[in-house]
C-alpha cells in the first residue's frame, strides 16, 4: 500500500481548476450576506426548503455508500492500545454537569454566529442543499413523537437487538450501536425529551470522492446531504421499533445531545485528536445521529481499536490545521480526557473556507481505513500516507494554491478575527433572553 501512495493525490486540481475554485470562493464570499438573509428569512428560506429536488441517492457525486460496514477490524498491536471508551473522572464529570449543564451550541453562541454567518462561504452549499436537508428534518419532526399502536413484542433483548441492527443494515445505515441514556449528554434546552433509557446510535458514511476534495462546495454539500439521508433512515428505524410496540424518538441532525460520547460507548469508534469520532472504517468521514427508546435492548461495549495510539503517532491533523487549532495532547476538561480544540480559532476559518475540514481530509484512517493503516504500521512502523501529497495535500479555496506536506496557507487576521467577532470559549450559559441562532 505504501508504494502506491508516493505520487501526487489523484484529487489534486489542475492550475485551471484551482483558479476556478478561487473564483467560486470569491463569488460565495460576495454573496454570503444575501444568501444568509435568504436562508434565515421564513418566507424565502421556507420556499427553498420545500422546492422539488432530486434525492441524494440519485446524485452520484454526493450520495453515501448506503451499506453496512461488515469487514472485520484487525486487533491493534500492543503498543497502540490505550483504553476502550473515553477516559473519565466520574466525580469531576458529575460536578461539572451540576455546576454548568451543557447547552446547545447554537443557543450558547447565537450572538457570535449572527455576526459571523453573513461572512460565511458555507452559506452557498447550505442554500443549495436546503431542500435536501430540511425536507427530511421536517418529516422527522412530524414523526418524532408518535406513540406505538400495539403492546411490546415479547422477545429476548438479545434477539430484539440483533433484529434492530439487521433492520438498520437493510436501511443502508453504515453502523448501529446501543448505549445507556445519560442525562449529562443532553443539552439543557432538551431535558425531558428522551423516551427511554436506551440510545440507538446510527452512523452514515459520507461520499468518499467528495470528502477528498475538502475544502470545497461539493464536500460541504455531501456532508449536509448525508445528514438528510441519515434522518430519513432514522425515521424508518424508529417506525420499526414502534411496530414492535416500543417508543422511539429520533433527534434531528442538529441534535439535542452530544452524540460522540454515545458512539464511543457503543463501540463504534474512538475519540480522535481532531475532536471527532474516528470509526475504524471511515475515520470521521461520516455523520452521526441518535434516537432514544424504551425498548429493552442489549447495550454494546466500548472497543479499543488502537485509534488513539494511531493518533498519538500520526498527528498529521495537528500540524496541517491552517490555524493551529488542534492540540497535540489530551487534557482533562469537565472530567473528560480529550483533545480540546481551540474553537475561537477554528470557527471563523471553518465558516469562511467552505467548511475547512482539513483535519478530516488529512486523517489516514479516513483516507485508507484502519486495517490498511495498522498493516503498514506493523510492516514499517510508519503511519500510512504520512508526508505524502496523496494524504496531506489540499487545494486552498482562499488563494487557489495547492499545499503539500510541510506547507500551510497564510491565514490573515481579517479571517481569524473578523470585525465584531467576539467568541467566549468559557461561556457556560446563554446570554439573558438569548434565542437560538436558528430561531
Residue 3 in this model has a pLDDT that exceeds 60: no
Q: CA–CA separation, 305 vs 374, rounded Å?
A: 10
Exposure letters 194-231 (e unless 16+ CB within 10 A, then b): bbbebbbbbbbbbbeebbbbbbbbbbbbbbbbbbbbbb
Q: 333 — phi, psi (to 5°)?
A: -145, 120
Residue 434 in this model has a pLDDT that exceeds 90: no
Question: Containing H/E element for 71?
Answer: none
DSSP state of 366: H
What is the pLDDT of the chain when averaged over all its residues? 94
Residue 5: predicted pLDDT: 54
Across 203-221, average pLDDT: 97
Q: Is 372 helix (H, G, I), strand (E, B) or coil?
A: helix
Q: What is the CA radius of gyration of the chain?
A: 21
| Chain centre to alpha carbon of residue 54 | 24
Residue 273: predicted pLDDT: 96
Bridge partners, residue 290, by sequence: 201
Extract the C-alpha cell encoding 292. 432514544
Q: CA–CA separation, 216 vs 64, rounded Å?
A: 17
Q: CA–CA separation, 261 vs 334, rounded Å?
A: 13
Across 237-241, average pLDDT: 98
Neighbours of 58 (CB within 10 A): 9
Is residue 359 within 8 A of residue 326, CB to CB? The reply is yes
Q: CA–CA separation, 71 vs 229, rounded Å?
A: 22
CB contact set of 11 (below 8 Å; sequence gap of 6+): 209, 212, 213
Q: CA–CA separation, 327 vs 278, rounded Å?
A: 16
Domain locations in the chain as residue ranges: 2-416
What is the value of pTM for the model shown? 0.95
Residue 304 in this model has a pLDDT that exceeds 60: yes
CB contact set of 308 (below 8 Å; sequence gap of 6+): 82, 83, 270, 271
Residue 1: predicted pLDDT: 47
Q: Give 148-183 pLDDT, tens digit per residue.
A: 999 998 899 999 999 999 999 999 999 999 999 999
Q: Give 326-342 pLDDT, tens digit per residue.
A: 999 999 999 999 999 99
Bridge partners, residue 331, by sequence: 338
Is residue 113 within 8 A of residue 31, CB to CB? The reply is no
Residue 379: predicted pLDDT: 97
Q: CA–CA separation, 265 vs 257, rounded Å?
A: 14
Amino acid at each position: 500500500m505504501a508504494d502506491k501512495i508516493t505520487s501526487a493525490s489523484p484529487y489534486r486540481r489542475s492550475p485551471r481548476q484551482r483558479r476556478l475554485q478561487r473564483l467560486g470562493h470569491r463569488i460565495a464570499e460576495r454573496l454570503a450576506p444575501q444568501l444568509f438573509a435568504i436562508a434565515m428569512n421564513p418566507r424565502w428560506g421556507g420556499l427553498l426548503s420545500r422546492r422539488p429536488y432530486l434525492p441524494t441517492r440519485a446524485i452520484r457525486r454526493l450520495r453515501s455508500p448506503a451499506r453496512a460496514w461488515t469487514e472485520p477490524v484487525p486487533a491493534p498491536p500492543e503498543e497502540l492500545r490505550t483504553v476502550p471508551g473515553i477516559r473519565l473522572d466520574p466525580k469531576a464529570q458529575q460536578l461539572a454537569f451540576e455546576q454548568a449543564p451543557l447547552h446547545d451550541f447554537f443557543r450558547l453562541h447565537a450572538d457570535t454566529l449572527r455576526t459571523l454567518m453573513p461572512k460565511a462561504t458555507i452559506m452557498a452549499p447550505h442554500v443549495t442543499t436546503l431542500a435536501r436537508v430540511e425536507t427530511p428534518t421536517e418529516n422527522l419532526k412530524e414523526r418524532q413523537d408518535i406513540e406505538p399502536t400495539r403492546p411490546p413484542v415479547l422477545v429476548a433483548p438479545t434477539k430484539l437487538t440483533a433484529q434492530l441492527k439487521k433492520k438498520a443494515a437493510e436501511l443502508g445505515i453504515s453502523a448501529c450501536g446501543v448505549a445507556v441514556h445519560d442525562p449529562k449528554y443532553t443539552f439543557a434546552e432538551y431535558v425531558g425529551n428522551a423516551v427511554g433509557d436506551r440510545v440507538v446510535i446510527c452512523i452514515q458514511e459520507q461520499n468518499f470522492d467528495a470528502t477528498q476534495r475538502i475544502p470545497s462546495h461539493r464536500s460541504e454539500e455531501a456532508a449536509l446531504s448525508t445528514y438528510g439521508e441519515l434522518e430519513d433512515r432514522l425515521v424508518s428505524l424508529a417506525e420499526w421499533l414502534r411496530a414492535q410496540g416500543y417508543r422511539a424518538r429520533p433527534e434531528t441532525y442538529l441534535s439535542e445531545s452530544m452524540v460522540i460520547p454515545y458512539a464511543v460507548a457503543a463501540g463504534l469508534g474512538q475519540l480522535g485528536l481532531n475532536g471527532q469520532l474516528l470509526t475504524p472504517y471511515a475515520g470521521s468521514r461520516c455523520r452521526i445521529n441518535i434516537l432514544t427508546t424504551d425498548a429493552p435492548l442489549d447495550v454494546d461495549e466500548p472497543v479499543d481499536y488502537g485509534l488513539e495510539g494511531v493518533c498519538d503517532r500520526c498527528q498529521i491533523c495537528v500540524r496541517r490545521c491552517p490555524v493551529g487549532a488542534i492540540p497535540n495532547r489530551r487534557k482533562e476538561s469537565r472530567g473528560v480526557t480529550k483533545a480540546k480544540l481551540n474553537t475561537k480559532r477554528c470557527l471563523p476559518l471553518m465558516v469562511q473556507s467552505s467548511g475547512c475540514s482539513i483535519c478530516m481530509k488529512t486523517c489516514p484512517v479516513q483516507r485508507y481505513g484502519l486495517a490498511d493503516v495498522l498493516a503498514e504500521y506493523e510492516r514499517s512502523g510508519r503511519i500510512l500516507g504520512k508526508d505524502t501529497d496523496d494524504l496531506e495535500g489540499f487545494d486552498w479555496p482562499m488563494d487557489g494554491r495547492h499545499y503539500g506536506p510541510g506547507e500551510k496557507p497564510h491565514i490573515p487576521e481579517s479571517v481569524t478575527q473578523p470585525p465584531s467577532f467576539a467568541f467566549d470559549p468559557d461561556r457556560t450559559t446563554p446570554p439573558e433572553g438569548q434565542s437560538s441562532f436558528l430561531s
